[in-house]
């Protein structure tokens, strides 16, 4: 090849590596190059007779042409990188990128369009679009799922608050008539009763105390399980002394049993003393109910470093190993459950109280050693989290 | 944001108000070859529909604009804020119908209608020839989608120089016809699937229907249909290929509107 004799402009136009077309102001085709004819499968004269540039487009493409490309050409003289589909002679579509420019030539305006085939890019873009649609769909599904979750949580919270209110109201309404019954038994006791009548009044009085207790447990359970958690108000207290006093009371109330208190160490702690005594009371009541009647019950309070430990020990029947993991669940009662056993909320409430104090509870039950519940709480729980 | 900022309203001239509203695709710049002529004798109001051009895109509420009536309400609001009554409403394409609906909502504010390439319904329906089938509109949406791949990002396409129009500032390039792709898709659907044939007989204002001789979006048959159904209307066909006579045949468009204004 002679480098001094390159192809002429005509050759370069006809076989350029892109399609070329020139149209008049109305869009009628005046010139098309061989590359474009080849891509679209037309002979040159066929293509020139096909009409205007817009006639090569799909109907949707023509609307886009009229609403976007024509105005842009008129306003800024050119457009670039417009993605269109051209119709081949055989009806199939050819994805192309189009650059176009208006050309003023000897008083007339012409349109010069350069066309690039973009089949690979088209496939890639379709894939991107599909992925975006898929992502949008997933996002919408997620949002719907989240909305449902939120609505469900909201309903659950409403149910919990309602349950708490209901139980609170009912408990309150039960306590009032209970107090009337209790006061009436006191009045009856003073009115000179026969021995048999006194026994009956005693029974009524004990039953009223138990119902009081049950109502209290029910309230606590509702708060802990359905509501906003057990309410705890901590302050600096001497737990050794408080537990000692409460054990002494328990001894008075249960004259037939031996209940000891052993103190190790001396230290004040930050805790809700009423809640701690409630826990100790529940554990001791269990020991009285389930322990061997002829053996002592021992409550040990022990403070060392930053911990406070309370253990409640009794002799008697072993708690079966398979029961231990479920012992603290509500409504679980021992195998020897009897009329004094309550509704099975005692240990659940103990564990709730311990957890609200950031502590832990363990149980150990053997034939020789007996049964020991050990509660351990930090003496100074993390600030702002009491 | 006030109503005028929301619509990027531009005012010029004085006299009876003429409100120029662009159609689907571009913005108020479409009137650049026509509006200045009327500013010599009229107060010219240029604006962008919410969702187009430099309007407040954040105001585009899909529910409000699920029907052209949402845009019509905007038009009445703009006229109310400007204190305009008896305006000539010049609407291109879809905005011709928006103008008609606005005229029904606030008849005192709009005294005459100029409809450039209007169509009350683009979809063929029994005897009615609108020019398109639903599948054509789906194709349009696909083409829009394909083009917003590039246009929606920050990489605005490089515009080849337009030496014959040096006044065209760089920041304007392509922005006339570009908007948020979500909005474009929604507006395209609302525009091309709308059917306001039943509203035509309610239009009482004198109306000029300005039709092009060759326009695939608003074919002649549609112009004739409108002429038959709008009571006080005139049909004027100008020789023009395409859907934008105000850009491709500006002087013929100006002449047609002028003679309508003097006759009306």
Q: Long-range pairs for A176-184 at CB < 8 Å and ≥24 separation? A: A178/A208, A178/A211, A178/A212, A178/A215, A181/A208, A182/A208
Inter-chain residue contact A64 with B143, CB threshold 8 Å: yes
User: Does A130 reside within a domain?
Assistant: no
Nearest by CB to residue B160, choosing from A85, A99, A128, is: A99
**Residues A288 and A371 occupy one common structural domain:** yes
In 3D space, the residue among B239, B178, B192, B120 whose CA is nearest the CA of residue A71 turns out to be B178
CB-CB neighbors (< 8 A) of B168 in chain A = 75-77
* B45-85: pLDDT as tens digits: 999 999 998 899 899 999 999 999 999 999 999 999 999 99
Say if strands A269-271 and A297-304 run parallel, antiparallel, or are unpaired: unpaired
Asked if the structure places residue A353 within a domain, the reply is yes
Distance CA B26, CA B32 (A): 12
Residue B94: name the closest of A67, A285, A226 by CA.
A67
Q: Region A114-140: what's the mean pLDDT?
A: 90
Interface test with B, best of A54, A60, A107 (most B CBs within 10 A): A60
Tokens 């004269």, residue located: A45
Domain, as residue range, for A330 = 235-378
Parallel/antiparallel/unpaired status of strands B207-214 and B43-47: unpaired
Average pLDDT over residues A86-100: 92
CATH of the domain at A168: 1.10.287.130
Secondary element (H or E) of residue A293: none
B239 → chain A, closest CA residue: A26
The secondary structure of residue B123, as a DSSP letter, is B
Rg for chain A (alpha carbons), in Å?
Answer: 45
Strand pairing of A93-105 and A78-87?
A: antiparallel
Q: Does A108 touch chain B (CB under 8 A)?
A: no
CB contact (8 A) between residue B247 and residue A83: no
Q: Are residues A253 and A306 in the same domain?
A: yes
**Which A residues, 83 through 102, put their C-beta within 8 Å of a C-beta on chain B?**
83-85, 99, 101-102
Please state, in angstroms and rounded to a whole number, the distance separating the CA atoms of residues A369 and A371. Answer: 7
Contacts of A84 in chain B (CB under 8 A): 143
Q: Does A72 touch chain B (CB under 8 A)?
A: yes
Domain boundaries, chain B: 3-263
B156 SS3 class:
coil
Q: Are residues A44 and A91 in the same domain?
A: yes
Among the partner residues A54, A62, A104, nearest to B164 by beta-carbon distance: A104
Between A62 and B69, name the one with better pLDDT: B69
Cα–Cα distance for residue pair A374/A311, rounded to 1 Å: 4
Task: Verify that A249 and A207 share a domain, yes or no.
Answer: no
Q: Is A357 part of any domain?
A: yes
Residues facing residue A112 across a β-bridge: A22, A101
| Ranges of H-type helices in B178-249 | 181-193, 220-229, 245-248
The residue out of A117, A135, A165 marking a domain boundary is: A117
pLDDT in tens, A37-56: 999 999 999 999 988 888 89
Residues B143, A85: C-beta atoms closer than 8 Å: yes
Q: How far is B107 from chain A (nearest CA, A)?
A: 29
What is the pLDDT tens value at each position of chain B, 264 positions in all?
799 999 999 999 999 999 999 999 889 999 999 999 999 999 999 999 999 988 998 999 999 999 999 999 999 999 999 999 999 999 999 999 999 999 999 999 999 999 999 999 999 999 999 999 888 888 888 887 777 644 443 333 333 334 444 444 444 455 667 777 888 889 999 999 999 999 999 999 999 999 999 898 999 999 999 999 999 999 999 998 889 999 989 999 999 999 999 985
A62 touches chain B (CB under 8 A): yes
Q: How far is it, in rounded angstroms, from Cα B39 to Cα B15?
A: 9
**What is the count of structural domains for chain A?**
3
pLDDT in tens, A159-198: 877 877 888 788 778 888 888 888 888 888 888 888 888 8
- Together in a domain, A244 and A363: yes
Q: Bridge-partner residues for A298, per DSSP?
A: A260, A313
Q: Are residues A92 and A176 in the same domain?
A: no
Which is nearest to B151 in space by CA: A39, A65, A340, A79? A79
What pLDDT digit, counting tens, does each position of A352-377 carry? 999 999 999 999 999 888 999 999 99
Q: Which residue of B has its CA nearest to A102?
A: B162
- CA of A98: which chain B residue's CA is closest? B147
Test mutation, B25, B131, B133, B252, chain A, max A CBs within 10 A: B25
B93 catalytically annotated: yes
Nearest to B140 among A64, A81, A128 (CB): A64
Radius of gyration of chain B (CA): 18
Contact present, B143 and A64 (Cβ < 8 Å): yes
For residue A96, list its beta bridge partners: A84, A117
Burial class (CB in 10 A: 0-12, 13-18, 19+), A287: buried
Alpha-carbon separation of residue A120 from A116, A196, B143 (angstroms): 12, 104, 17
Do A97 and A202 lie in a common domain? no
Contacts 24+ apart (CB under 8 A), A164-170: A164/A222, A164/A223, A164/A226, A164/A227, A164/A228, A167/A218, A167/A219, A167/A222, A168/A219, A168/A222
Strand-pair partners of A263: A301
How many angstroms separate the CA of residue B205 from the nearest CA in chain A? Answer: 28
Question: In angstroms, what separates the C-alpha of A343 from chain B's closest C-alpha?
Answer: 57
Q: Catalytic residue among B243, B246, B249, B253, which? A: B243
Question: Which CATH number characterizes residue A316's domain?
Answer: 3.30.565.10
Residue of B145, B192, B241 with shortest CB distance to A26: B241
Any domain includes A97: yes
Q: How many CB pairs under 8 A join A and B?
A: 132
| Contacts B149 to A, Cβ<8 Å | 83, 125, 128-129
> A71 and B26: CB-CB below 8 Å?
yes
Catalytic residue among B52, B93, B119, B194: B93
B-interface mutation test, from A63, A80, A122, most B Cβ less than 10 A away: A63
Does the pLDDT at position A338 exceed 80? no
Q: Which residues pair with B112 in a beta bridge?
A: B88
Closest chain B residue by Cα to residue A61: B140
Asked if the Cβ–Cβ distance from B137 to A64 is below 8 Å, we say: no
A75 found inside a domain = yes
pLDDT digits (tens, 9 = 90+) for A265-314: 888 899 999 999 999 999 998 899 889 889 999 999 999 878 999 999 99
| Average pLDDT over every residue of A15-33 | 92
A18: its two tokens? 């892109």
**Pairwise CA distance, residues A266 & A268, whole Å:** 7
Tokens (6 digits) for B212: 């092009």
Spatial separation of the C-alpha atoms in residues B133 and B137, rounded to whole Å: 7
Tell me the two tokens of residue B112: 């005459």
Packing angle, helices A346-356 and A195-221, rounded to 10: 50
Distance CA B52, CA A343 (A): 70
Q: Tell me which residue in B132, B241, B244 faces A71 most closely, judged by beta carbons.
A: B244
Cα(A324)–Cα(B214) distance, integer angstroms: 90
DSSP state of B105: H
Whether A77 and A178 share a structural domain: no
The SS3 call for residue A331 is coil
Q: Note whether residue A164 is domain-resident.
A: yes
Check A66 against B244: CB less than 8 A apart: yes
| A295 contacts A310 by C-beta, under 8 angstroms | no
Map tokens 């042409």 to a residue: A65
B29/A74 Cβ within 8 A: no
| Catalytic annotation, pick one of B48, B215, B249, B253 | B215
Cross-strand partners of A311:
A300, A374
Residue A72 with chain B: CB contacts under 8 Å: 26, 174, 176-177
**How many of the other CB atoms lie within 10 Å of CB of A339?**
7
Residues A87 and A214 occupy one common structural domain = no
The Cα angle at residue A227 between residues A212 and A382, in degrees rounded to 5: 100
pTM (two decimals): 0.63
Which residue of chain A is at minimal alpha-carbon distance from B192? Answer: A63
Task: Give yes or no for residue A337 having a pLDDT over 70.
Answer: no
Q: Taking the alpha carbons of B7, B12, B15, B16 in that order, is the dihedral positive or negative?
A: negative
A288: tokens are: 């009285």
C-alpha span between A362 and A378 (Å, rounded): 15
pLDDT of residue A81: 84
**CATH of residue A65:** 3.30.450.20
- Ramachandran region of residue A342, left (φ > 0), alpha (ψ -120 to 50) or beta? left
- CA dist B62 and B52 (Å) reads 14
Average pLDDT score over chain A: 87
Superfamily the domain B3-263 falls into = Alpha/Beta hydrolase fold, catalytic domain (3.40.50.1820)
Phi-psi region of A81 (alpha: psi -120 to 50; beta: other; left: phi over 0): left
CA distance A152 to chain B (A): 28
Residues A222 and A271 in one domain: no
Query: What is the chain A residue with the closest CA to B144?
Result: A64
Of the candidates A207, A226, A245, which is a domain's last residue? Answer: A226
* pLDDT (0 to 100) of residue A210: 82
Please state, in angstroms and rounded to a whole number, the distance separating the CA atoms of residues B109 and B75: 10
> Cβ contacts (< 8 Å) between B140 and chain A: which residues?
59-61, 63-64
Which residues of A fall within a CB distance of 8 Å from B49?
none
- Domain final residue pick, A99, A117, A135: A117
For residues A372 and A284, give the distance between their C-alpha atoms in angstroms, rounded to a whole number: 11
Question: Chain centroid to CA B72: how far?
Answer: 12
Residues A334 and A288 in one domain: yes
Distances (CA, A) of B58 to A263, B62, B148: 72, 11, 19
Please tell me whether residues A68 and A29 are part of one structural domain.
yes
């Amino acid at each position: 090849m002679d480098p001094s004799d390159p192809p002429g402009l005509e050759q370069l136009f006809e076989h350029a590596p892109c399609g070329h077309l020139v149209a008049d102001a109305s869009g009628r085709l005046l010139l098309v190059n061989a590359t474009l004819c080849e891509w679209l499968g037309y002979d040159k004269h066929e293509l020139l007779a096909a009409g205007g540039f817009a006639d090569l487009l799909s109907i949707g493409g023509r609307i886009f042409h009229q609403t976007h490309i024509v105005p842009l050409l008129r306003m800024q003289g050119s457009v670039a990188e417009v993605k269109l589909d051209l119709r081949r002679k055989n009806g199939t579509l050819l994805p192309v990128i189009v650059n176009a420019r208006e050309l003023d030539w000897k008083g007339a305006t012409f349109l010069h369009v350069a066309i690039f085939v973009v089949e690979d890019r088209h496939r890639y873009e379709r894939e991107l679009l599909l992925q975006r649609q898929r992502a949008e769909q997933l996002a919408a599904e997620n949002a719907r799922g989240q909305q449902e979750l939120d609505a469900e949580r909201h309903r659950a919270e409403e149910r919990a608050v309602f349950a708490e209110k209901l139980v609170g109201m009912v408990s309150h309404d039960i306590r009032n008539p209970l107090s009337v019954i209790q006061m009436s038994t006191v009045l009856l006791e003073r009115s000179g009763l026969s021995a048999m009548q006194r026994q009956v009044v005693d029974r009524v009085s004990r039953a009223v105390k138990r119902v009081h207790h049950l109502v209290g447990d029910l309230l606590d359970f509702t708060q802990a399980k359905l509501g906003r958690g057990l309410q705890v108000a901590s302050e600096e207290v001497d737990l050794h002394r408080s537990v000692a006093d409460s054990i002494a009371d328990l001894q008075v109330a249960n004259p037939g049993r031996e209940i000891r208190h052993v103190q190790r160490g001396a230290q004040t702690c930050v805790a809700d003393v009423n809640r701690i005594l409630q826990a100790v009371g529940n554990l001791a009541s269990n020991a009285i109910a389930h322990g061997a009647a002829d053996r002592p019950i021992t409550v040990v309070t022990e403070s060392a470093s930053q911990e406070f430990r309370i253990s409640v020990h009794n002799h008697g029947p072993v708690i079966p190993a398979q029961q231990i993991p479920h012992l603290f669940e509500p409504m679980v009662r021992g195998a020897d459950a009897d009329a004094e056993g309550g509704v099975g909320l005692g240990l659940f409430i103990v564990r709730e109280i311990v957890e609200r104090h950031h502590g832990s509870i363990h149980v150990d039950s053997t034939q020789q050693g007996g049964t020991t519940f050990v509660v351990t709480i930090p003496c100074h729980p993390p600030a702002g989290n009491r | 944001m006030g109503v005028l900022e929301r619509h990027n309203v531009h005012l010029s001239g004085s006299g009876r108000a003429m409100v120029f509203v662009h159609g689907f695709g571009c913005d108020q710049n479409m009137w650049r070859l026509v509006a200045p002529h009327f500013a010599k004798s009229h107060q010219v109001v240029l604006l962008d529909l919410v969702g187009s051009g430099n309007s407040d895109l954040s105001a585009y509420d899909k529910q409000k604009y699920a029907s052209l009536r949402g845009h019509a309400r905007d038009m009445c609001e703009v006229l109310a804020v400007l204190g305009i009554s008896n305006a000539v409403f010049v609407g291109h394409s879809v905005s011709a119908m928006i103008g008609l609906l606005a005229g029904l909502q606030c008849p005192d504010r709009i005294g005459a209608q100029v409809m450039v390439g209007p169509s009350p319904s683009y979809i063929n329906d029994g005897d009615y020839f609108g020019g398109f089938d639903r599948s054509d509109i789906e194709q349009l949406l696909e083409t829009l989608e394909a083009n917003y791949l590039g246009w929606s990002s920050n990489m605005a396409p490089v515009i080849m120089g337009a030496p014959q129009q040096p006044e065209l500032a760089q920041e304007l390039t392509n922005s006339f016809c570009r908007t948020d792709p979500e909005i474009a898709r929604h507006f395209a659907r609302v525009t091309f699937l709308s059917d306001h044939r039943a509203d035509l007989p309610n239009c009482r204002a004198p109306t000029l229907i300005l039709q092009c001789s060759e326009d695939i979006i608003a074919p002649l048959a549609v112009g004739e249909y409108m002429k038959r159904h709008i009571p006080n209307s005139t049909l004027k066909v100008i020789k023009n290929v395409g859907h934008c006579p105000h850009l491709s045949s500006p002087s013929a468009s100006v002449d047609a509107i002028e003679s309508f204004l003097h006759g009306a």
